[in-house]
Amino acid sequence: MSDTFILNGKETPYTPGQMILEAAKVGGIEIPTLCYLKGSTPTGACRICLVEVKGARSLMAACSTPVTPGMEVFTETALVHQARKLNVELLLSSGTHNCLTCEANGNCRLQDLAYFYKITDLRFEEKAASDIYPKEDRNPLIVRDFSRCILCGRCVQACNEVMVNRAISQGYRGKESKIVTGGDLPYHESECVFCGQCVEVCPVGALTEKKAKGLGRPWEIKKIRTTCPYCGVGCQQWLHVKDGKIVKVTAVEDAQPNMGRLCVKGRFAYDFIYSEERLKTPLIREANGEFREASWDEALDLVAEKFKEIIKKDGPDAIAGVSCARSINEDSYQMQKFFRAVIGTNNIDHCART
Amino acid sequence: MDTKITVTIDGQEVSADPGQTILEAARSQGIYIPTLCHYSKTTNVGACRVCVVEVENARSYVASCCAPVTPGMVIRTNTPAIRAAQKMIIELLWSSGDHNCLTCEQNGACELQDLVYWLQIDKPRFPIEHHGYEMDNSNTMITRDLNKCILCGRCIRACNEIQVNEVLDFANRGSYAKVGPAFDADYIDSSCVFCGECAQVCPTGAITFKQAKFAGRPWELSKTRTTCAYCGVGCQIDLYTKDNKIVKVMGNRQYGPPNEGSLCVKGRFGMDFISHPDRISKPLIRHQKGEAFKEAAWDEAYAFIAQRLAAVKKEYGPDSIAGLSSARCTNEENYVFQKFLRGGIGTNNIDHCARL
Amino acid sequence: MIILVGTNITEAHPVASTFVKDAVLAGAKLIVIDPRRTDMVDFAEMHVPLKVGSDVALINGVMNVLIEENLYDKKYVDSCTEGFEELKKKVMEYPPERAAEISGIPADTIRELARKMASVKPAMLMYTLGITEHICGVNNVMSCANLQMLLGNVGVECGGVNPQRGQNNVQGACDMGALPNVFPGYQQVANADARAKFAKAWNVKSLPDKPGMMMPTMMKNLTTGKVKAFYVFGENLANTEPDIHHVERELQSAEFLVCQDIFPTETTRFAHVILPAAAWSENDGTFASSERRVNRVRAASVPPGDARPNWWIFKELAKRFGHEWQSSSAQEIWDNEISVLAPSMAGIKYARLENDGLQWPCPTEDHPGTPTLHKGGKFTRGLGMLKAIDYIPPAEVPDQEYPFVLSTGRRLYHYHTRTQTGRSAGINDLLGEETADISTADAEAKGISDGEKISVKSRRGEVVVKARVTKEVPPGLVWMAFHFREACANWLTNPVYDPVTQTAEYKACAVRIDKLR
Amino acid sequence: MTVAGLAATFGSGAMTNSIDELESTDLILATGTNTTENHPVIGAKVKRAVRRHGTKLIVIDPREIDLVKYADIWLRQKPGTDVAVFNGLMNVIIAEGLYDKEYVAGRTEGFEALKAVVAKYTPESVEKISGVPAEDLKKAARMYAQAGRASIIYAMGITQHITGTDNVKSTANLSMLCGNVGIEGGGVNPLRGQNNVQGACDMGALPNVYPAYQPVAGEDVRKKFEAAWKAALSPKPGLTLMEIMAAAGSGKIKALYVMGENPLLSDPDLQHVAKELQKLDLMIVQDIFLTETAQMADVVLPACAFAEKEGTFTNTERRVQRVRKALEPPGEARADWEIICGISSRMGYPMTYASAQEIFEEIRTVTPSYAGITYDRLEKEGLQWPCPTVSHSGTKFLHKDKFSRGLGLFTALEYIPPNELPDQEYPFLLSTGRVLYHYHTGTMTTRARGPVERCPESLVEIHPEDAGKLGIADGQKVRVTSRRGTVEVKARITEKSAPGSIFMNFHFTEAPVNFLTNPALDPTGKIPEYKVCAVKLEAA
């Protein structure tokens, strides 16, 4: 077919309109990038995805250069390598990038690239502390550390093009550049609805989750995939678990139905399960009206005995039950089975209506 | 027989053995006290002082790794004052050298980093000292970057007390203090025998495994515990692998015998052969004497051998066949091999190089 | 094109809303039909702020235009539906002018709306509780279906009538037969064959053939004594049901109330026995999402104290009645019982759910699942049924004494009665208390300023709550949520129900608002 | 050699005690072991014992090895005079009444015969044979006898002689004489050279025994294995390695199957071995590299390296430990057991194990000392056999209260000189062994960057006196010639070996020291005399 180009010497198919980065990925070549965010307009901001295109005067950004028929692209030449390495080094000087105190340590694309390109010292001087915007962490959920920000713009893309909450944008110019909310207000005074998608896509430690701070580094964490317990969309999540405790929730990328997105509840409202107020033992009401703790055997025996009594006296239809629209299918199944098969009534319903 | 004594740690009554340090007594109860210079099976030196605790009626904070418990002692490990002291100590250690994890191979497996995280230190209060030490890149096995050294002395004790190679020691004093072989020599020019124990015990990125550099971050590696393939000691080793390659080898310290975490140069640095290009990857058959080998499929090789062995056995009897088993193969393989010769061929002509 | 009816999607289903917004950015047209100026209006080509509860009239008006102006999909209607003539007859009673009178939407706007709807195909209609929480909830749903069938939008990709379920596993609870009339997989209890099948599977002689009570009936019957024992699993009825004062009297009168939950709630106060349950992240199991997708839920932490998985509690209870249930994990329950008994889920097994789940119907283990129902105009029941529907006003309409309409719903930062979100650090900081949302005009007229505490009162109760003066609500409307106990809208709401589904009319009742002295 | 010597004396051939015990015992006698180079981790333990626990150390070795630095007494015997030295030690101990009389009376037999023979070996006469000063010998004897718990460790320096078995028995004699066998911290402890020598022996990869040293000649044993393996078994003990080579040369052996060994670099008198192997009709080699031996084969089968398979090794202290798969094998390489099974099955003797673990389960049923060991039990630490039942916690040291054979047997032994001693034509004594940085025939370590950096090529150690006489400088190439062959190798001038003795390693195919070595065998253990042969030396 005619729609092919030459990728590292190999004829590779592409779909018209595809950028080099995407076409290469389909062709099995992963081109490193920091700013590229799948599904949004490429910005070419980070200059890490540079590739050599035969006949072009300079290296091209693979994320924003469309493939043309027969185009010859080289992704791994010495020149490319050198340019990418230089750009990583320049990014490293854009702020303070000492991983020692960074919550993103171990989950940082910039760090990955520095390692991949075997960078052993910082060639360029870091930005002076006085030239860096102060950290913003007055809201309860998201920490914005501008000393780590590389202005790649993924958060802006995520906010405007993915979640379309339109809360942040690129602001100011040149050395003063900053990712800002409307009026450069702190997040919690802005239009932000705290979906946290900006944190999800931040490739470095500029945007981190406040609640996860200090609870565990990425390598100490086990990821468990589950389904969100809130509305009926059924978003797929990763629970980040350390020592049996959830420390953070992120979205499962490329998974139906949410395709890597979450809302404020799904992302941040997981810790209710650790509330001290949780019911921890069966409770039985005493004659004086107060509850007392009981064993499972005692509580279940009591329920069974009372139900049997009522069935005997008033028939099974004198018992009714409401199942839970939040618990798992298997629980609802068990409950209706219990009502139908054990008690002998169809008086089983649930709050589907709210 | 000594009797147990009772002390109070963080309000909890704890029974301890006389002579036990506060640190040991606390850890036996699952109470966490951070340490850096402490390394089990070596002398407690109290060098880093991260393990400080409050002891009632003591005039100052006590380094728990060195202080023995005494009856009735009341110890507190987690007061705000102790945490503040620990923060101060860690910040001082941090400022004592170049501790930027971005370019450190030890990132993710650094005990100084762990404590900075654990204590939630945001930035050091003290100016960073730049020593400008040259890296010791003299050999292919161990890299030393003294700019990341916190002078905890673990490498020295490992070298002298665990391996007893007596190569490393402190030199100079005060802020010029550094660790190394005699006459501040590079490793390659010293009496070092490259057991790598110093790199294994180093809590920071000061002494690292050179061949592991840029071969994968700690969190990208898989760890498999196995038994070393060299001499008959049977050291328990942890192979750290990435992309089907061995990145580094560490002695397994989780379980005791036989090596209790130590390794020698072969076990530590002698594993390259596994992914060496010389490895045979396909059966080879020489169909006629004098001919060159030809690559073959397994089935072909099996059939060739079976048919030829059967022919020899038929013509000359089972005792015309012999097998050399291997002292390097597993028990299961030796078992299967001798069973094959005895049960399958019908000869006891089975031996191996036990005598070498 | 996307048509949103009675759904504040950015707050109630935020992630779903991002896909709608993405679609708009990519060029899709959006129509929002909602009394309130919800966030999605920013993205809409047209906002139709109809009067609360006038949905049937409006839709009938739109369909009137579609038929009058010959804009409907005749081919589809002819080949895939029945009942068109009756529908047409009924719809002819709702010329735009009449619909305008009821809905408050000008006749010309209704015409424009109809033409717009007919201009793009396919169009997807999404609704939520703004449609269902009315005494005419079923009628509203059927009207939406009528409209979409008339436009030929059912059974095509990116079309259809798509309810978004309010709670994470409403779909699953229904699928599992936690309904008075059906077994798992919607097999009728009245059907003798179904009963025989389940009786055999469950190892019992017989199963009750009479459909049971729906929840409001159960609760009513607590006071009549017809229901003696009430088993409430994971629901906080004392906050979620309309007219809390009344609900509490009902719960109070239960002879024996069992509550099974993860927290003490307003409802557990009335229990005789409380059973502590394992929470979401402490269970292995499955949820079914709005789009019928069965997804895995995985255990990531251990339950506190003695709390146990719900399925275990039921199994243990059954044992005390002499029933020994075999399955002893959620997976066994699913793989060995549910998927065996519910034909639409027969092909769904845990082993197949590792990644993106499966959408039922999925009848066999090699079936890929069903993303779009009624494909190619093939309805489950054969032909799509067009139903003639009349407008009925809400049960309680404003009058002199109670001149405002109260409508209720959810807000972004909280979920249901806040048992979960209220206990998650940071979320309360984002929204710490309930407000009564009122229009600028009403606020001015009443001299109420933003943030001021006011009284909201209905025939059933009164709450004192902060006023939130906003352009989101039209004059005459008060809008509240039911997340917070003190200022819960359900102290005020009207316990009247749709006769079929017994869904309460949360969306409309009459209230008055007063400045506090 | 070890199995032959110790089995005859105690009834069981293996390290009697555990590595762990070395660190806290009262005295260690190290003989014929360059521990810090060949077993560096055990070497560290010995050094730790000396430095940190006050353990006394006696080294008996012709070379000035590293451990000498740590030793209280160093006895530098002439190579091959070990029996004399040990007899001399015992002579002193018995003469001075320092032996454990109660132990000797209660737990041993053959004391009188021993006493009679060692009486001849006075320190003075031993000095004449071995060159060890009589006074030093006396001091060492007293120190050993009075130490309390004393452990003897030895390696190839003891076994690789035509008197290897006698040497081993001598160490056993000494240990029993002072009541050191069957106690913690004591014993006679051979340090095995290869990682799984112990396991290969345990598994019956020996011509005369089935797994767990059950003799093939034993009728009952054979019946048991015939039933277990469902095959008729030969009652005739097979040939040992060196005999196999000879039989190949004489045409009695037609086919040789070699699994993971490289006899063409490791066996003595290589040129002769090569000729013998050439005569085979069929040679099959299974290995991870195309070794010298593999290059001669008719079929070469690619095997998995240790990190590419599951299984167990048994270490020198009888500890069975797990080997785990960490990597995928290259190309089509397969685990050795899988290959054997494949061939066996095709030869009409089906072996169909699904995993190493399944094989181990079978091993347990026919190997009483392994019966209690399971993979599950090996998850954490290994288990030391004997471990007869699953509730048995393994055996830290052997012969507690009772020897495997009942009473410990003293063997009265006379000194026999090595088979080939220096003479005028071949005036130097060559000893061979290993260096720290390499292993065996170098297939593994010469393919590892670090070891090669430290030790890139073979060296011959020459004493400065000899070097001076011959005009050889450090680093110069020299030619070493024996009656069997010649090799060229770089000289390393060092005082490690005594004047008149030179030392070489066998790691490098470029300088195959086994061109030179003498294939004379110990009559019982059939081990060649790698440690002594006569050579001449000249600058190349």
Using the beta-carbon criterion (under 8 Å), do B108 and A101 form an inter-chain contact? Answer: no
As a whole number, mean pLDDT of residues C389-413 equals 90
Cis peptide bond N-terminal to C361, omega within 30:
yes
Which pLDDT tens digit goes with each residue over A296-321?
Answer: 999 999 999 999 999 999 999 999 99
What kind of fold does domain A227-278 have according to CATH? N-terminal domain of TfIIb (2.20.25)
Kindly indicate the confidence band of residue A2, based on its pLDDT and cuts at 50, 70 and 90.
low
**Nearest CA-CA distance, residue C496 and chain A, Å:** 13
Q: Which of C360-369, D54-63, D79-88 shows the lowest mean pLDDT across its residues?
A: C360-369
Shared-domain flag, residues C56 and C189: no
Residue A257, preceding peptide bond in cis (omega within 30° of 0):
yes
Write the CB contacts of B84 (distance below 8 Å, at least 6 apart in sequence): none
Identify the CATH number of the domain in which residue C362 sits.
Answer: 3.40.50.740
Using CB atoms, pick whichever of C275, C295, C298 lies closest to residue A299. Answer: C275
Q: What is the pLDDT of residue A234?
A: 86
- pLDDT surpasses 80 at B175: no
Question: Domain ends where: D384, D417, D451?
Answer: D384
How many Å from the N-terminal Cα to the C-terminal Cα in chain A?
Answer: 55
Find the mean pLDDT for residues A56-68. Answer: 92
What is the per-residue pLDDT for B306?
A: 93
- C-beta of residue C176 within 8 angstroms of C-beta of residue A333: yes
For A243, the token pair is: 């020592």
Count of domains forming chain C = 3
- The residue out of C366, C393, C424 marking a domain boundary is C366
Asked if C247 contacts C241 with a C-beta cutoff of 8 angstroms, the reply is yes
Domain limits for position D17: 4-191
Q: What is the pTM of this model?
A: 0.82
Residue C437 to residue C451: CA distance in whole angstroms: 10
The class that CATH gives domain B5-78 is: alpha beta
Q: How many residues does chain B have?
A: 356
Residue among D313, D327, D439 whose CB faces B331 most closely: D313
**Does the structure show a pLDDT above 90 at A233?**
no
The answer to whether residues D166 and D309 belong to one domain is no
**In the listed set C148, C164, C180, which residue is the last one of a domain according to the structure?**
C164
Pair (C193, C157) in one structural domain? no
Write down the mean pLDDT value for chain B: 90
CA nearest to A277 within chain C: C263
**How would you label D434-445 residue by residue, b for 16+ Cβ within 10 Å and e otherwise?**
bbbbbbbbbbbb
Residues of chain B contacting residue D240, judged by C-beta atoms under 8 Å apart: 351
CATH of the domain at C452: 2.40.40.20
What's the rounded Cα separation, in Å, for the pair C297 and C308?
Answer: 16
Co-location of D292 and D320 in the same domain: yes
Q: Between A and B, how many residue pairs show a Cβ–Cβ distance under 8 A?
A: 52
CB D15 within 8 A of CB D191: yes
Nearest partner of D308 among D331, D284, D285, judged by Cα: D331
By percentage, how much of chain D surpasses pLDDT 90?
68
Q: What percentage of chain A has pLDDT greater than the value 90?
A: 66
- Contact yes or no for A279 and C307 at CB 8 A: yes
Cβ–Cβ < 8 Å for C459, C427: no
Residue A125 touches partner B, C-beta closer than 8 Å:
no
Of D199, D186, D167, nearest in space to D9 by CA: D167
Chain A residue at shortest CA distance from B112: A100
Q: Are residues C83 and C113 located together in one domain of the fold?
A: yes
Q: Does D3 have pLDDT greater than 70?
A: no
Q: Is residue C32 part of a domain?
A: yes
Inside any domain, residue D148: yes
Cβ of A303 and C273 within 8 Å?
yes
What pLDDT, in 10s, does the model give residues D108-164? 999 999 999 999 999 999 999 999 999 999 999 999 999 989 999 999 999 899 998
pLDDT of B342 above 60 = yes
Shared-domain flag, residues C418 and C277: no
Mark whether C342 and C328 lie in a shared domain: yes
- Helix or strand run (H / E) with residue C248: helix C244-252
Last residue within a domain, chosen from D356, D384, D412: D384
Contact A271, C422 (CB under 8 A): no
State the CB neighbour count (10 A cutoff) for residue B175: 10
Residues C238 and C359 in one domain: yes
Strand partners, A148: none
Chain A residues near residue C138 by CB distance under 8 angstroms: none
Mean pLDDT of C108-130: 90
CA distance B268 to D74: 31
| C115, C236: one domain | no
Mean pLDDT of A85-100: 90
From chain D, the residues in CB contact with B342 under 8 A are: 210, 216, 225, 229, 231, 233-234
pLDDT surpasses 80 at B40: yes
Domain with CATH 3.30.70.20 in chain A: 101-214
Give C275 to chain A, closest Cα distance, Å.
Answer: 5
Taking alpha carbons only, the member of D403, D412, D524, D411 closest to residue D10 is D403
Contact A31, A75 (CB under 8 A): yes
SS3 C190: coil
pLDDT at position D1 over 60: no
Average pLDDT of the residues in A60-73: 92
Region C143-158: what's the mean pLDDT?
Answer: 87
The per-residue pLDDT for A352 is 64
Q: Which of B103, B116, B121, B240 to mutate to test the interface with A (most CBs of A within 10 A)?
A: B103
Asked if D333 lies within 8 A of B281 by C-beta distance, the reply is yes
What whole-number distance in Å separates Cα of residue D82 and Cα of residue D65?
Answer: 17
Average pLDDT over every residue of B199-212: 94
**Considering CB atoms only, which of D192, D312, D331 is closest to B282?**
D331
Which residues of chain C make contact with A189, given a CB cutoff of 8 A? none
Q: Does domain A3-76 have CATH number 3.40.50.2300?
A: no
Domain match, D293 and D208 both: yes
Assess contact for B162 and B42: CB atoms under 8 A. yes
Is the pLDDT reported for residue D12 higher than 80?
no
* Residue spans of alpha helices (H) in chain B: 22-28, 80-95, 111-118, 154-157, 197-201, 265-269, 298-316, 331-339
- D44 plus D94 within the same structural domain: yes
Statement to judge: residues C416 and C501 lie in one domain: yes
For residues C175 and C122, membership in a common domain is answered with no
Name subunits touching A (3+ CB pairs < 8 A). Answer: B, C
Residue B87, min C-alpha distance to chain A (Å): 13
Chains with ≥3 Cβ pairs under 8 A against B? A, D
User: Out of D48, D202, D454, whose CB is closest to B164?
Assistant: D48
Best of D299, D521, D529 to substitute, by most chain B Cβ atoms within 10 angstroms, is D299
Q: Would you give the distance in Å from CA C352 to the centre of its chain?
A: 29
Judged by CB atoms closer than 8 Å, whether chains meet at C425 and A285 is answered as no
The pLDDT confidence band at residue D78, using thresholds 50, 70 and 90, is: very high
- As a whole number of angstroms, the distance between CA D125 and CA C70 comes to 129
- Beta-carbon contacts of D143 under 8 Å, excluding residues fewer than 6 positions away, are D27, D56, D58, D72, D73
Cα dihedral B89, B91, B97, B99, rounded to 10, equals: 120
Which residues from chain B sit within 8 angstroms of residue D433, using beta carbons? none
Predicted confidence at residue D326, as pLDDT, reads 92
**Is the CB of residue A171 less than 8 Å away from at least one CB of chain B?**
no
- Domain ranges for chain B: 5-78, 126-275, 298-355
Residues C56 and C22 in one domain: yes
Strand partners, B323: B350, D257
Q: What angle do CA D395, D398, D401 make, to 5 degrees?
A: 110
Q: Is A278–C263 a contact, with Cβ atoms under 8 angstroms apart?
A: yes
Contact B230 D444 (CB under 8 A): yes
**DSSP secondary structure code for residue A340 in this structure:** I
Chain C environment of A319 (Cβ under 8 Å): 227-231
Contact of chains C and B by CB distance (3 or more pairs under 8 angstroms): no
User: Which ipTM did the prediction report?
Assistant: 0.79
Question: Do C187 and C59 have their domain in common?
Answer: no
The answer to whether the Cβ–Cβ distance between B246 and D307 falls below 8 Å is yes
**Angle value at C-alpha B340, between B335 and B342, nearest 5 degrees:** 95
Span of A187-196, B170-179, B195-204, B315-324 with lowest mean pLDDT: B170-179
- Per-residue HEC secondary structure of D291-334 comes to CCCHHHCCEEEEECCHHHCCEEEECCCCEEEEECCCCCCCCCCE
Which residue bears the tokens 């390290």?
D15
Give a yes or no: residue C391 inside a domain.
no
In the block, residue with structure tokens 């407690």: B44
Q: Cβ contact (<8 Å) for D195 and B327?
A: yes
| Residue span of the structural domain in which C66 resides | 2-164
CATH architecture of B126-275: 2-Layer Sandwich (3.30)
Give the confidence band of B354 by pLDDT, cuts at 50, 70, 90.
Answer: low
Average pLDDT over residues D30-56: 92
Question: Long-range contacts made by residues B294-302, C-beta under 8 angstroms, separation at least 24?
Answer: B298/D332, B298/D334, B298/D342, B301/D299, B301/D301, B302/D342, B302/D343, B302/D346
| Percentage of chain D lying above the pLDDT 70 cut | 99
Distance from CA of B289 to the nearest CA of A (A): 44
Average pLDDT over residues D172-191: 92
Q: A101-214: what CATH class?
A: alpha beta
CB contact under 8 A, B100 and A92: no
For residue D456, give the CATH number of its domain. Answer: 2.40.40.20
Residue C433 domain flag: yes
Q: Are residues D356 and D492 in the same domain?
A: no
| DSSP 8-state code for residue C388 | -
C270 has pLDDT over 80: yes
Q: What is the pLDDT of residue B1?
A: 46
Rounded to a whole number, what is the distance in Å from the CA of D499 to chain B's nearest CA? 25
Min distance C390 CA to chain A CA atoms (Å) = 22
Indicate the DSSP class of residue A90: H
Task: Using CB atoms, list chains with 3+ pairs below 8 Å to chain D.
Answer: B
Q: Which of C164, C188, C203 is the last residue of a domain?
A: C164
Q: Which candidate, C50, C49, C48, C46, places its Cα nearest to that of C24?
A: C46
> What is the crossing angle of helices D123-130 and D82-95, to 10°?
170
CA atoms of C103 and C61, how far apart (whole Å): 10
Contacts with A232 from chain C: Cβ below 8 Å: 13, 164-171, 289-290
Residues facing B6 on adjacent strands: B15
D112 contacts D177 by C-beta, under 8 angstroms: no
**Record: contact D448-B316, CB cut-off 8 A:** no
For strands D108-109 and D408-409, give the pairing. Answer: parallel
Judging contact as 3 or more Cβ pairs under 8 Å, the answer for A and C is: yes
Q: Name which of C27, C1, C32, C19 is nearest C121 in CA terms.
A: C1
Asked if D84 and D209 sit in the same domain, the reply is no
What gap in Å lies between CA C274 and CA C271, rounded to an integer? 6
Q: Does A122 touch chain B (CB under 8 A)?
A: yes
* Residue C217 sits in the same domain as residue C114: no
Chain B residue with minimal CA distance to A122? Answer: B103
* Whole-number Å distance between alpha carbons of C363 and C344: 5
Residue of B nearest to D381 (CA): B255
- Boundary (domain end) residue, out of D353, D384, D415: D384
What is the number of structural domains in chain D? Answer: 3
How many CB atoms within 10 Å of residue A107?
21
What local confidence, expressed as pLDDT, does residue D69 receive? 93
pLDDT (average), residues D14-18? 88
- Looking at the structure, tell me whether residues D353 and D207 fall in a common domain: yes
Helix (H) or strand (E) holding A208: strand A207-209
Mean pLDDT, residues C472-497 taken together: 88
Distances (CA, A) of C303 to A270, B278, C313: 14, 55, 14
